[in-house]
Amino acid sequence: MRRPTTALLATFALAFVLSAAPVHAQPRLTVSLNGGYQPTTTSFDDSFDFTVNRETGHSEVSYPIEAGALFDGGFGVRLWRGLGAGVAFSFFKVDGSVHATSSVPHPFLFQHNRQIEGDADGIRRQEKAVHILAQYALPAFGSVHVTLMGGPSVLDINQTIVTNVKYTEEYPYDTATFAGVDTRGVTGTKTGFNVGADVSWMFATHFGAGGLVRYTHAPIDLQVDDRTIRVDAGGVQVAGGIRIAF
């Protein structure tokens, strides 16, 4: 499992310091709209067999998932004193590449497989998440408000998966050349968790700006034909934007 970064820990340290500040009125309802970044990187591997020339070939594919831009929005309602509840929605998308290797049977010679490898672009990871939030608002420090939050997250991903490694060959077929991949999008959904903090500065009665640090995670099994591929969804999310309070 991937760990929260030091940015998340620093946010909680700031929240602890601010908790000793004088108490000011907390808004009843807060709406947030954020743009940000998901700096977490991860990877996963897949392998599969195929039949050609009456023999079995084998392919292996490595998928690096890079960091990328994030959109986040949500709202929170104060229920009693500093306790509240909320819902947030996040969207993350990144395009990348894969590295594929294959052992391809020879058309004439038994057990004389040719080895091919190459990189292919056009691999997309898309993550959508709904975060259910239990919230605790610390005593306000003037116009600065800090809210700690956490709860379950429902993460849904759409991942491009390689279904076939293509190649070209010419007589006498002693070698083969990598020629790309065939792909399809595969989806999966899993309930995981989230934990984070929001710091906002209300520079007007109903308007302000803020920053969010969240860590969310869920392992998701993708079903591709007769094989199951486990991937990690989520990660550290850092975002900032506007706050509207009532």
Q: Is position 161 within any domain? A: yes
pLDDT band at 26 (very low <50, low <70, confident <90, very high): low
Q: Is position 140 within any domain? A: yes
Q: Is position 63 within any domain? A: yes
How high is the pLDDT of residue 28? 83
Q: Which domain, by its residues, includes 88? A: 6-245
How high is the pLDDT of residue 142? 87
pLDDT at 55 over 90: yes
How high is the pLDDT of residue 108? 92
Q: Which residues contact 171 (CB under 8 A, 6 or more apart)?
A: none
pLDDT at 229 over 50: yes
**pTM (two decimals):** 0.83
First to last CA, the chain: 38
Q: Is position 1 within any domain? A: no
pLDDT in tens, 187-226: 999 999 999 999 999 999 899 999 999 999 999 999 998 9
Query: CATH number of the domain that 74 lies in?
Result: 2.40.160.20
The structural domain count of the chain equals 1
